[in-house]
C-alpha cells in the first residue's frame, strides 16, 4: 500500500517534525538520504523509514509529492527516516563546550571534527543552534550519531566540571598560550565561542587557561568551525 494523500495522518505528523517545538514535544527528528540512514542504523535509533521507491526497504511507501512535502532539501532523497533523539551519555575525559554557536553548518563541521579527533562529548550552551536542525545533521555527515551531545546551562555546568577536576580551557583570538603547552592533561574541557563575539566574559573568567591560534597579522580571525578543527587536531596530535 502506498500513501498518496497529503492529508494522511502520518504525513501530517512527519511534516510537523520540521518544527523545533514539535521535535521537542515528540523526541523525534527527520534525517534524509542513504548515508545518514546508514549511520543512524548503526546506533539503532530509527523509528521508521519512509520511501517513494518500493524497491527499497521501508516501513511506509509514499508518493514523491509526499516526500517533497516532508523534505527540506531541493534534491529529494528516495528514503527519509524518523529517528529518536539522542540520549545523553556519561561524560568522559575530553569535552568540547560550545558557547552560543549560531550557524548550523558550523555546528555540523565541529561535530565531524570532534569525532575525527577523538573528543568524547560536545556540550551546547542553551542559546546555541538547535542540534536537530536539518542543516546541522547534514553538515555532520552522519558523525552526529557517533558522539555524546548535550545542552546545558554553562555557568552551572562549568562549576560542576571544576569540582570534578576538569581543566577548563578558554579560547581567545590573541594572548593565549600555545596549544602544545596543554599536553598530558587527563580531564580537559575546551570552550569555543560564538561566531561574532567569541566566548562570553563570564564563561572565560571560569577558565584555568586560555589558548590562541597563531596566524598572519593580515587575518583578524578564523571561522569557528575551522578554529575548532585546528585546536582539536593539535590536541589529538600532541596527546
CATH code: domain of residue 52: 3.30.1330.30
8 Å CB contact between 98 and 108: no
| Domain identity same for 159 and 119 | yes
Q: Please give the pLDDT value at position 212.
A: 87
Q: Please give the pLDDT value at position 149.
A: 97
- If pLDDT is split at 50, 70 and 90, which confidence band does 76 have? confident
Q: Please give the pLDDT value at position 118.
A: 95
How many domains is the chain partitioned into structurally? 2
Q: Please give the pLDDT value at position 144.
A: 94
| Domain identity same for 183 and 68 | no
CA gap 44, 53 in Å, rounded: 22
Compute how many other C-beta atoms are within 10 angstroms of the C-beta atom of residue 171.
Answer: 23
Which of residues 60, 84, 108 is at a domain's end? Answer: 84
Provide CB contacts within 8 A for 187, sequence distance 6+: 93, 164, 165, 166, 167
8 Å CB contact between 101 and 124: yes
The model's pLDDT over 6-52, given as tens digits with 9 standing for 90+, comes to: 999 999 999 999 999 999 999 999 999 999 999 999 999 999 999 99
89 assigned to some structural domain: no
pTM for this entry = 0.93
Q: Strand pairing partners for 170?
A: 191, 210
CA gap 209, 194 in Å, rounded: 19
Task: Please say if the pLDDT value at position 68 is more than 90.
Answer: yes
CA gap 185, 163 in Å, rounded: 16
Which of residues 29, 54, 84 is at a domain's end? Answer: 84
Determine the average pLDDT of the residues in 146-172: 96
CA gap 228, 205 in Å, rounded: 20
Q: Please give the pLDDT value at position 141.
A: 94
Task: Please say if the pLDDT value at position 1 is more than 80.
Answer: no
C-alpha count within 13 angstroms, C-beta hemisphere, residue 107: 28
| Domain identity same for 112 and 229 | yes
Determine the average pLDDT of the residues in 56-78: 93
| Domain identity same for 226 and 197 | yes
| Domain identity same for 125 and 222 | yes
DSSP assignment of 201-233, as one string?
Answer: HHHHTT-SEEE-----TT-----HHHHHHHHHH
| Domain identity same for 78 and 98 | no
Which of residues 22, 52, 84 is at a domain's end? Answer: 84
The model's pLDDT over 111-158, given as tens digits with 9 standing for 90+, comes to: 999 999 999 999 999 999 999 999 999 999 999 999 999 999 999 999
| Domain identity same for 100 and 154 | yes
22 assigned to some structural domain: yes
Task: Please say if the pLDDT value at position 182 is more than 80.
Answer: no
Determine the average pLDDT of the residues in 83-101: 96
Tell me how far the alpha carbon of residue 202 is from its chain's centroid.
24
| Domain identity same for 54 and 133 | no
The model's pLDDT over 93-114, given as tens digits with 9 standing for 90+, comes to: 999 999 999 999 999 999 999 9
Range of the domain at 31: 2-84
Q: Please give the pLDDT value at position 94.
A: 96
| Domain identity same for 77 and 110 | no
Helices (runs of H) and strands (runs of E) counted in the chain: 9, 11
The CATH number of the domain holding residue 205 is: 3.40.1280.10
Q: How far is CA 121 from CA 74, 228, 229, in A?
A: 32, 14, 15
The model's pLDDT over 191-226, given as tens digits with 9 standing for 90+, comes to: 999 988 899 999 999 999 999 888 888 887 788 999
| Domain identity same for 140 and 61 | no
Task: Please say if the pLDDT value at position 238 is more than 80.
Answer: no
Among residues 238, 108, 119, the alpha carbon closest in space to that of 190 is found at 119
Amino acid at each position: 500500500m502506498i500513501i498518496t494523500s497529503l492529508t494522511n495522518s502520518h504525513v501530517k505528523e512527519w511534516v510537523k517534525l520540521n518544527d523545533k517545538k514539535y521535535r521537542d514535544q515528540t523526541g523525534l527528528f527527520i534525517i534524509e538520504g542513504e548515508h545518514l540512514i546508514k549511520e543512524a542504523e548503526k546506533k539503532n535509533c530509527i523509528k521508521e523509514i519512509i520511501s517513494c521507491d518500493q524497491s527499497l526497504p521501508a516501513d511506509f511507501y509514499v508518493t514523491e509529492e509526499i516526500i517533497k512535502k516532508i523534505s527540506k532539501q531541493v534534491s529529494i532523497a528516495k528514503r527519509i527516516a524518523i529517528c529518536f533523539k539522542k540520549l545523553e551519555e556519561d561524560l568522559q575525559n575530553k569535552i568540547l563546550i560550545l558557547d552560543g554557536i549560531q550557524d548550523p553548518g558550523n555546528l555540523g563541521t565541529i561535530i565531524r571534527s570532534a569525532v575525527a579527533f577523538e573528543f568524547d562529548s560536545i556540550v551546547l550552551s542553551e542559546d546555541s543552534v538547535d542540534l536537530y536542525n536539518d542543516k546541522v545533521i547534514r553538515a555532520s555527515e552522519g558523525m552526529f550519531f557517533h558522539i555524546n551531545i548535550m545542552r546545558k546551562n554553562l555557568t552551572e555546568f562549568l562549576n560542576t566540571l571544576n569540582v570534578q577536576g576538569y581543566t577548563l580551557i578558554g579560547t581567545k583570538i590573541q594572548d593565549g598560550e600555545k596549544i602544545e603547552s596543554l599536553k598530558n592533561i587527563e580531564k580537559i574541557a575546551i570552550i569555543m565561542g560564538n561566531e561574532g563575539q567569541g566566548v562570553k566574559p563570564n564563561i572565560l573568567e571560569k577558565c584555568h587557561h586560555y589558548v590562541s591560534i597563531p596566524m598572519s597579522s593580515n587575518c583578524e580571525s578564523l571561522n569557528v568551525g575551522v578554529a575548532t578543527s585546528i585546536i582539536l587536531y593539535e590536541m589529538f596530535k600532541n596527546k
